[in-house]
Structures are given as structure tokens and as C-alpha cells.
Amino acid sequence: MENQKTINKSISVKAADSAPFYNNVDFCVGTGRFGLALTKEYLDELAFVQEEIGFKHIRGHGIFTDDTAIYHEYEEDGINKVEYNYTYLDRIMDEYLKLGIRPFIELGFMPKDLASGTQTVFYWKGNTTPPKSYERWCDLVVALLSHLIDRYGESDVTTWPIEVWNEPNLPGFWEHADMKEYCKLFKETFTAIKDFNPSFKVGGPAICGVKDAEWIKGFLDFCKESGLKPDFITRHHYTIEFPEADGHYDYSTLMDEEEGFANLQSTRDIIDSYDEYKGLPIHITEFSTSYTPKGVIHDTNLNAALIARQLSRLGDMNESYSYWTFGDVFEETGVPFSLFHGGFGLVAAGCIPKPTFWTFKFFKDLKVLERGCVFKDDNAVIEKTDKGYAGVLWNESSKEGISIKLNLEDIAKDGDTDNEYTLIIKTVSPKTTNPLKLWHDLGEPATPNSEQTKLIKSAAFPQVTSDRLTASEGSISFDQTLDPETVVYFELSKSKVKSDRGYSYERTITTR
């Protein structure tokens, strides 16, 4: 970019340094409704995500909606009876476990036969009214858990977290946003599960954005008065203002990030103000930049950089944080019209990774190597590893570059003659990793053919560069430039060259 302003900064770390950083990037990821897991594209995208990143849990809506076909009422001899059908549920759960991922069970929405009303949400009409019979609702929940234990084993299934409902503070997701009725739903459900098997971990209220402090406090007041102790608290976290719609797409203005972090801290503070609930884990069961599945920001390099900062900070006050969602097979507002439609997913159709996919991959790789965080600020997280250092660097600015001089000390011990290191750098930027731009330059084909998909996917991977460096007085320094909207992963590790007899790399590359 011509005439681009560049900010210069230096980062110097020592092996004994310490910085607060809790990296639980792989605990959970979101999905559309569970019934979508019956489709091939969905499973292909999830398999790709699991191979590259590997999440432990998956959370989605609609485990009880009619497309999974679990709950049925019928009349026999003049008596209304209930039966359950687990055919689709078993197919879905079998596929999840094959891919090494387990559900974070969200209990909802209401089966049509069990619903007290007709209010629905989304293209696929998830019913959002209370049950007409709490007894039958609790029987349904316990029957589900009992079936899962019978099929997959108690020791495994009881580790699957359970969340009661989704966003009951929004009238579209819970009729009238009735807090009193939600608290009744939680109490009845929580009690039934704990009576069945107290090993299950159950939480709520899964709120999002509206009157959140009022709801957290009201929920905890109710739990205290009722003698309930949830195993965790859940909420959601999005970082945009109300979007502007244009055709099939939503365009949003970003919130101030610090206000968002302060809002999350307020939830932590409210919980900790109760002696009974102080320190209770908070799971963010949905987070992203935009809360709309038509949010164009999701497909951009800017989104990748914004999410990097979120991942560096969300662990400060939360046990986990689940990105919404892993893939673009998603139908809340209908079937997408185009490849890059602003979908929530880390992966687009054709298993094309978006830039944000690599932000998660980089933080997961950091977690695998970590031996303690030595540095964290608004542009970097750096970990000490067994063989050196590793880190994620990012630049959220759309206008200014950042030039960072990194000085990594104590990398080699005094007197250590084995002081050769390999530096690997993976870069995701608008210049290096930009499938959105290639799709645009191809003419924005709504449903690319196989050759176009292959070409777009080829532009969706990080640029990888390498170097060999030698420690001097136990330290290594190198410079790294971050263009606007860029995320970089680096890994510096001890690596001695062991050439085969007669081989010279220097002679090879200079031969004429």
C-alpha cells in the first residue's frame, strides 16, 4: 500500500517472564442446527476443521426440533402417549464421535407436539415457547441423556456440558423473553437431570446482549432462592452495532473492543458478588464479530485480526469461548445465495478456509507447544516452548502497518554451542491469504464450479517462509512487519543441520 503509515514497536522477552494468558481455543465451536449434520457438505467441512484444528465440543441449536424427529405424541385407546425416535440423533452423534468431537448440549428448541404455543424462529421454524407439560419436557430430557449413556457410555456422556435453552432474554428465542418462565424451565430441567445423574454439568442462562446484567443477576437471585447451584454460567458475545441490511447482506459498524471486554468483566463481577457462586465458570457459548449470518465481515482478513485479539483476551474472565460457527452450512435466514455470503463459518462451501480459520489454527498450535506465556499485549501473544519460542502477532488496523522488532532472550544457555535455530513464519494477510478477493476477481460466481473452487481454495492458505538464525549471547532478534489486517504465527526452535554425505545447500542454490 503506497504511503502507508507504519508504526514501529519493540518486544523483548526472557524465558523467566510471565504474562496472564489462558488459551482454551479448542474447547468448543458452534454449528447450525443439529439436523444439518445429516448432510455431506456439513460433515466434509467439519472433518476439515477437525483435521486442522481439532475442537473438543460442538454446540448448536435444535436437538429437539422436528427435523431430528425425537419427540412424538400419538393417541392409543383414547389415551395420549409419547414415544421417542433416536434414528437421526444416533447418526449425528456417531459422526461427531468419529471426528473426535463431542456435543456441548443445548436443550432446545421445543418439539411441535410438546410446545405450548406456535411462535417460531428462523427459516427452519424452531419453536420458542415453553412446554405445555413440564413433566413431559423433563421426561424427554432424561430419556435423551439415558439413551446417550446407553449408546456411548456413562463415563463419556457425563462429561458433555448441558446448557438450558438459547438466548431467553430475546423475545424471538423465548416467548415474551419471560424471565420468570425461563427460571422455571431451568429449575425443572436442572433438578430432573441432577436427580437422574448428578455427574452431569448443567448451566445457563445463555443470554445475548439485551439486559444482560439484569438477567444474570435475576437468574442468580432465583437460583439462590431456590437452592440451586448451576455448574457454570453461559452467555454470548458479539462485537458490532446493529447492522445495515442491503439485499442479501448485512453491513456492520464495529463496537469499541474495550467496551466489549468490560461487559464480559461485568458478568464475572456480578457472579463473584455472590458468596454461593463466586468463581463459577463462565462459558461463552457463542462469540464472533457479527451476530448475523449475512455479516460480510466474517469473510474478511479484518475479521481474522479482530478475532486474534478476542482469543488473546477472552480467557481473562471466561472458562471457554465458542466461535459461532465452524462452517457455512447454515440456514437461520434461509439457504445462502452465494459462496461468500457473510456466513458465520470458519470454512466456506468446498472446504475453503476463510482467513479467520487460520487465527484459530495458530492459537491451537500455540496451545500445543506452550510452556508458559511470556508476553501479551494488543498485538502479540508469545509462549516459551521446549525448543524456543512461538507466538501469534496481529494487526487490526485497516490503514497502518506495524513493524515489530522481536528480541527473544535466554534461548540458549551459557556455553551452549548448539545455537542454531529454525524460524518458521506463517502469514495471513490481504496480500497472502485472500480467497474473498480471488472470488471477486473471478466475477463473484454464486456457486463456483469445481475448477473455480479449486482455484479459490488455493488462495486460502497462509504464506509460509523460513530462515535459519544463530543465537548470539543466548538471544535471537528478528524483525516482522504486519501489514494492515494481518495475522502471523511464528515458531523459533532449536534445529541443527545434519547434511547427507556430500550435500551442500549453499553450493546447490548457487550452481550455474
Q: Determine the pLDDT at residue 3.
A: 67
**Judging by beta carbons within 10 Å of its beta carbon (0-12, 13-18, 19+), is residue 410 exposed, middle or buried?**
middle
Tell me the per-residue pLDDT of 313-356, one tens digit each, with 9 for 90 and over: 999 999 999 999 999 999 999 999 999 999 999 999 999 999 99
CATH number of the domain at 28-369, please? 3.20.20.80
Q: Catalytic one among 45, 106, 163, 167?
A: 167
> Is 188 considered catalytic here?
no
> Region 92-109: what's the mean pLDDT?
98
Whether residue 113 has pLDDT greater than 80: yes
Q: Which residues contact 196 (CB under 8 A, 6 or more apart)?
A: 142, 145, 146
Taking the mean position of all CA atoms in its chain, how far away is CA 15? Answer: 30
Report d(CA 489, CA 66) in Å as an integer. 44
pTM for the full predicted model: 0.95
Whether residue 413 has pLDDT greater than 90: no
Whether residue 213 has pLDDT greater than 60: yes
Whether residue 273 has pLDDT greater than 90: yes
Amino acid at 355: P
Assign 209 a pLDDT band (cuts: 50, 70, 90). confident
Tell me the per-residue pLDDT of 135-160, one tens digit each, with 9 for 90 and over: 999 999 999 999 999 999 999 999 99
Assign 412 a pLDDT band (cuts: 50, 70, 90). low
Percent of the chain topping pLDDT 70: 98
Whether residue 242 has pLDDT greater than 80: yes
Q: Determine the pLDDT at residue 344.
A: 97
Q: Which residues contact 11 (CB under 8 A, 6 or more apart)?
A: 375, 377, 380, 382, 404, 405, 406, 407
> Region 5-27: what's the mean pLDDT?
94
User: Among the CATH numbers 3.40.50.300, 1.10.1240.10, 2.60.40.1500, 2.60.40.420, which is that of 6-18+370-510?
Assistant: 2.60.40.1500
Whether residue 486 has pLDDT greater than 70: yes
**CATH 2.60.40.1500 in the chain, residues?**
6-18+370-510
Tell me the per-residue pLDDT of 158-170, one tens digit each, with 9 for 90 and over: 999 999 999 999 9
Q: Determine the pLDDT at residue 4.
A: 78
Q: Determine the pLDDT at residue 395.
A: 97
Assign 240 a pLDDT band (cuts: 50, 70, 90). confident
Tell me the per-residue pLDDT of 422-445, one tens digit each, with 9 for 90 and over: 999 999 999 999 999 999 999 999
Which residues are registered as beta bridge partners of 245? Answer: 250
Alpha helices in 413-449 (DSSP H): 435-441
**CATH 3.20.20.80 in the chain, residues?**
28-369
Q: Is residue 387 within 8 Å of residue 439, measured between CB atoms?
A: no
How many CB atoms neighbour CB 122 within 10 A?
20
Whether residue 2 has pLDDT greater than 60: no
Considering only the C-alpha atoms of the chain, give the largest distance between any 2 of them, rounded to a whole number of Å: 93
Whether residue 453 has pLDDT greater than 60: yes
Report d(CA 304, CA 323) in Å as an integer. 12
Q: Determine the pLDDT at residue 204.
A: 96
Whether residue 454 has pLDDT greater than 70: yes
In 3D, which of 200, 201, 204 has the Cα closest to residue 215?
204
> Region 213-230: what's the mean pLDDT?
97
Q: Determine the pLDDT at residue 158.
A: 98
Q: Is residue 78 within 8 Å of residue 44, measured between CB atoms?
A: no
